[in-house]
Amino acid sequence: MKISVDYPRCEGHGLCTEQAPAVFALDDDAQLNYRFEGADVPEEYVTVARAAVDSCPVAALREQS
């Protein structure tokens, strides 16, 4: 599973970081850090990563096929 992030759309709400802290983090300026940029999300994080995608209130995260 890969996730695409629309960084300009992200408003830094942090719901994704609550759902999947091993996958997403916000820096001190509320800028999103996606730890698996350009790579597959490791299998052990797929369930929480999907929950994070679903939780984004501005649809800045999308699961790629």
Q: How far is the C-alpha of 41 from the C-alpha of 57, rounded, in Å?
A: 21
Residue 5 is predicted with a pLDDT of 97
Residue 65 in this model has a pLDDT that exceeds 80: no
Residue 61 has a pLDDT of 98
**Cβ neighbours of residue 27 closer than 8 Å, sequence gap 6 or more:** 33
| 32-54 residue pLDDT tens | 999 999 999 999 999 999 999 99
What share of the chain has pLDDT > 70, as a percent? 100
**Is the pTM here over 0.85, yes or no?**
yes
Residue corresponding to tokens 């999308």: 62
Q: Which two tokens stand for residue 30?
A: 């509320």
